[in-house]
Structure 1
Amino acid sequence: MSEIRVRFAPSPTGYLHIGGLRTALYNYLFAKRNGGKFVLRIEDTDQTRFVEGAIENLIHSLEWAGIKYDEGVFIEDGHIVERGEYGPYVQSKRLPIYRKYVDELLEKGHAYYCFCSKDRLEAVREEQKIKGMVPKYDGFCRNIPLEDARKRVAAGEEHVVRLKLPYNRDIHFHDLVRGDITINTNDIDDQVLLKSDGYPTYHMAVVVDDQLMGITHIVRGEEWLPSTPKHIYLYEAFGWEKPTYVHLPTVLNKERKKLSKRHGDVSVDDFRTKGYLPEGLVNYLALVGWSPEDNEEILSMEDMVERFSFERVSKTGGIFDKDKLDWVNGHYIRSKSVEEISALSVPYLVEAGFIDDVFVNENEEWLNILIDTVREGMSTLSELPEKVDFIFKDKLQIEEEAYAEHLENENAKVLMQAIKAELEKIDMIDMEYAKGFMKLIQGATGIKGKNLFMPVRVALTGSVHGPELVNVLYLLGKDRIISRADAILNR
């Protein structure tokens, strides 16, 4: 069997969508599982929808996600470059190649020039809709002799080139996810192959590129399934062996509709900004439409490569469940070293205005303890400012119910006085002192158990629930604890 070659071929019409990332991931897993090659190609034939910076975003997003490709378009020293023996890998650089193959189809009678105006095409489609027919091209220009058509082209008449499908012929193919599929050519349009601006359509370019780049498996979204018979016919018209097709189920929201910006975050950048780790997002995304045989849910990239197969990919759309993503991401936040999570979390604290770069450089240990104190309950890094807000606030908001139950009594006043008296004996709180602090307060007041710990926790954090009190004492430090004790005494 020849080497397996797959490709991810997005259009630079926006930032990388979460569904696109999953398609890239499945291509990558399949290639790595089978010792094959993974190619990144840019399909930019629709120049009207080109978005500046989209190619760079795509490359950076794949790199961030840990999805490495072998050939195609890369960024080196801030510039887009191409590496591999099958280039160019950007379609707009391949126009002469497509023109050559369009001419071949015209010569063989598998394509024809079409001179129909937009007005005529719209009128035909409207009439077809009124009659309850499927709107498609009516073949008006199919039988214009090639020589006559070429004269009209030479005279400057605006035109496109269309695929000339045979009438009433079944086209069969096997899809690794969908199984055996048959579509009749009478249900398919004579697709435009070359537009009036000289650019090929997706349907022409994708077949030529996949053939010339040696692509063996086409792994793409199910929205391309109806177009596949056209592509198979083109392979046949050129005398090429068709590749194996794999059409992936759509990523859906909880309402079973396609994920879109109207319903929230959809780009990889959105999730990255929200503080999802690449390991968490990629692990979860792999499970939206696929599952390993043992149904394990926490999988490293190496685990996924080892277990991945298209036999385990669902035919139906995968539901993107944010709660499940949060659970998976939370696992990775807790499993990484505190130093790693701290480094990734600092930008969120800086953005919130809690710290600055100078503070970061001078308080590395303090920051590590801060992160370790609250990360147990975190699902994303962006939650951090809210989780640690009580540490940085000058004026603490105390829950009314907690205040009424634990601080509106003489016991609390005694504790606050003891805390102040004890802290005035020292210069600063280190972790060793923090570990023994509550014992000192117990010794000074005779108060113990719940009556000791709950009032102190509420006074220092504003809530009856929260992180390890020893860490809180260390993080708040002497001056802030005294200030919070005073706030209770003066209330």
Structure 2
Amino acid sequence: MSKNVRVRFAPSPTGPLHIGGVRTALFNYLFAKKHNGTFVLRIEDTDQNRFVEGAEKYIIDSLNWCNIPYDEGPGKEGNCGPYKQSERKHLYKQYADELIASGNAYYAFDTAEELDFHRKDHEAKGKTFIYNWHNREKLNNSLSLSAEDVKTKLEAGEDYVIRFKSPQDQILHLNDSIRGAIKIDTNILDDKVLFKSDGMPTYHLANIVDDHLMEISHVIRGEEWLPSLALHMQLYTAFGWEAPEFAHLPLILKPTGKGKLSKRDGDKLGFPVFPLEYTSPEGEVSRGYKEEGYFAEAVINFLAFLGWNPGTEQELFSLDELVAAFELERVNKAGARFDPDKIKWFNHHYMQEQNDDAIAETFQKQHNELASIDVNYIALVVGLVKERATFISDLWELSSYFFVAPESYDEKASKKAFKDDTKDLMLQLVDIISKNTEFEVETLQTEIKGWITSNAIGFGKIMMPLRLALVGALQGPDVFDIMYMIGKQETVKRIEKVIAIL
């Protein structure tokens, strides 16, 4: 690319960061890193009525957990700060005034009651009220008032807004990197509010000014901002600025494929929609992927495929591989269905790639029963059972018998495994095990299988009751691995416990 790539993620600190916002941040990050560019975080906090204490920290913590940290932003000052819009509000008035001076914007003094009257009047006539060229010169603004009246109102401190003057009878030819060419008839556009007399800009003005001053080259944002593209491009033209390239990402849809994914969907179907656990100011706790046991790599790999595909059969990508493969042109226009089972599939894969020692440390912290057990032993157990696990929280159910003897035996399996001659066979097995001096997997396997073969005993007659004695159910890794791990004394003790009930 000819110009330096600078992209931004610009969330509002009004609550937790939705997984859709994480996907937007991820695509910005991938694009920036692909082109050796800069990933900027800007906090859009001009709406102080919706500001939530702690939300900004939550956003930053979420990006860091996902391993997609920003290059510039709060706490990482570059040459384009400050990076919070509330600290930049002194900038916006001059640009609003510039638009008025150039004839691209005007003061509007209409009260809420006046505007409500016009809406209801239009509705009564079967029409829709739009504040634009149709009626702007009949309303209470600087286009219909004399210069003297406007000056008087401003000097008197009367409330006002500054509206963009959308042109009449023009066709805007816009381009989106994902959706291609777009044509908009300006006659259907309303004159959006850009600035208010309380000194605060609206999203539209602050967004454009900040993107320009921060030298943003590409705006990659959610589909919900597509209707704003016409206004934003007109603002760039009005200022005489070069516009960035725009790309609007597809919606993330409910698991049913119908409608935008919401927190309610997660609550209803039992999956998180936030990267980290979040506690609202009212005390409501929302689940997070981190606390639910998901690996950041799994979440990122999954999110990358919500609306993008590499054009190959490959599904498992490291972050570096995603950076290398990512192209905006391969982002889909259609919405992407959120599949809770698919993200579990990714997590299962990344579970297998985790270091056993690291998993063991986390596993030990999750269960008081493991507090006094050597973490190296726990790591060996993890290596034997993790292929069946999707989450670290699955490990106790899969491996508890390595740490504590089973208290009961699966009823259905017991009927299948325990026969009339089982007690006698298990007594013989105890004798063989007791005489084994090495107690290694190989020697145990050789001796026990040799005994079974030489005496023409069915393998199931020995292996099923043996597994039940060790595990309590017909599950788990190789029985010889289990015997070796729990040791000779514990192995004999567990078999003798079964013998006692036969």
- Into which bin does the TM-score normalised by the smaller protein fall? 0.7 to 0.9
CA distance in 1, matches of 2:496, 2:293: 37
Task: Determine if contact 2:433/2:444 at 8 Å carries over to the other structure.
Answer: no
**3-state SS in 2 of match to 1:48:** coil
**Amino acid in structure 1 at the alignment position of 2:25:** A
Identity %: 41
The equivalent residue for 1:310 is 328
Alignment of 1:103 with 2:121, yes or no, is no
Where 2:183 maps in the other structure, the secondary structure is strand
CA distance in 2, matches of 1:146, 1:436: 101
Contact 1:251-1:318 at 8 Å conserved across structures? yes
The alpha carbon displacement at 1:295 in A equals 3.2
The structure-2 alpha-carbon separation of the partners of 1:133 and 1:218, relative to structure 1 and needing over 3 Å to count, comes to: farther
Amino acid at match of 2:327: S
Aligned ranges for residues 246-261 of structure 1 at < 5 Å? 246-256=247-257, 257-261=259-263
Match of 2:273 in 1: 266
Aligned counterpart in structure 1 of residue 383 of structure 2, from 372, 379, 388 = 372
Task: Mark the CA change 1:136 to 1:437 in structure 2 (over 3 Å): closer, same or farther.
Answer: farther
Tell me which residue corresponds to 1:12: 13
Q: Greater CA deviation, 123-132 or 253-262?
A: 123-132
Cα distance in 2, alignment partners of residues 236 and 474 from structure 1: 75
Task: Identify the residue that residue 111 of structure 2 maps to in structure 1.
Answer: 117
Q: 1:260 to 1:228 in 2, by over 3 A?
A: same
Q: For residues 479 and 129 of structure 1, do their structure 2 counterparts lie closer, same or farther at Cα, with a shift above 3 Å needed?
A: farther
Q: Single out whichever of 191-200 and 204-213 deviates more from structure 2.
A: 191-200
How far apart are 1:391 and its partner, in Å?
A: 4.2
Pair 463,172 (structure 1): closer, same or farther in 2 beyond 3 Å: same
Query: TM-score, normalized by length of structure 1?
Result: 0.87
The gaps in structure 2 that reach 5 residues or longer are 267-271, 277-287
Q: 1:191 to 1:475 in 2, by over 3 A?
A: farther
Write the distance in 2 (CA, Å) between the matches of 1:228 and 1:416: 77
Q: How many Å separate the matches in 1 of 2:65 and 2:168?
A: 48
Aligned residue identity for 1:337: N
Question: How many positions carry a matched residue from both structures?
Answer: 473
Residue 300 (structure 1) aligns with: 318
1:453 aligns with 463
* 1:325, distance to aligned residue in structure 2 (A): 1.8
RMSD of aligned residue pairs (Cα, Å): 2.8
Distance 1:300 1:164 in 2: 48
Q: Could you report, residue by residue, the CA deviation over 1:373-401 in whole angstroms, capped at 9, with x for unpaired residues?
A: 22102223333333334445565353321
293-302 or 123-132: which moved more? 123-132
Distance, in Å, in 2 between the alignment partners of 1:398 and 1:283 is: 40
What amino acid is aligned across from residue 227 of structure 1 in structure 2? S
Moved more, 466-475 or 321-330: 466-475
Q: Cα–Cα, structure 1 residues 245 and 397, in superposed 2: closer, same or farther, change >3 Å?
A: farther
Matches within 5 A, 1:54-203: 54-73=55-74, 81-129=75-123, 133-134=127-128, 136-137=130-131, 139=136, 140-142=139-141, 143=143, 144-145=145-146, 148-203=149-204
CA gap 1:467/1:198 in 2 versus in 1, 3 angstroms: farther
Decide whether the 8 Å contact of 1:194 with 1:204 is kept in 2.
yes
Deviation at 1:435, TM superposition (A): 5.0
What are the superposed Cα offsets for residues 165-193 of structure 1, whole Å, 9 maximum, x if unpaired? 12332222100101111122232222121
| 1:293-341 CA distance string (max 9 Å, x none) | 3231111122121121111111101122222222222222212332243
Q: Which residue of 2 aligns with 1:78?
A: none
CA offset at residue 221 of structure 1?
A: 0.4
Question: Within the alignment, does 1:355 sit opposite 2:370 as a pair?
Answer: yes
Does residue 296 of structure 2 align to residue 278 of structure 1?
yes
Distance 1:239 1:400, change over 3 A: same
For the pair 1:412 / 2:422, whether they are aligned, the reply is yes
Residue 436 of structure 1 and its aligned partner are, at CA, apart by 3.8
How far does the alpha carbon of each residue in 1:232-282 deviate from its partner, in whole angstroms, 9 at most, with x for none? 111111111111110010111221221111111211121112222122211
| Larger CA deviation: 473-482 vs 280-289 | 473-482
* C-alpha distance in structure 2 between counterparts of 1:216 and 1:442, whole Å: 70
Say whether residues 1:464 and 2:443 are aligned partners.
no
Residue identity in the other structure for 1:433: E
Please give the TM-score of this superposition, normalised by the length of structure 2. 0.86
Q: What's the offset of the Cα at 1:156? A: 2.9
Give how far 1:157 is off.
Answer: 2.3
Distance 2:241 2:190 in 1: 22
1:213 deviates by 0.7
1:386 corresponds, among 387, 397, 406, to 397
- The answer on whether the counterparts of 1:112 and 1:141 sit within 8 Å (CA) in structure 2 is no
Deviates more, 1:6-15 or 1:191-200: 191-200
Task: Confirm or deny: 8 A CA contact 1:326 1:379 kept in the other structure.
Answer: yes
- DSSP-derived class of the 2:321 partner: helix
**Matched residue, 1:329:** 347
In structure 1, stretches of 5+ residues that fail to align are 74-80
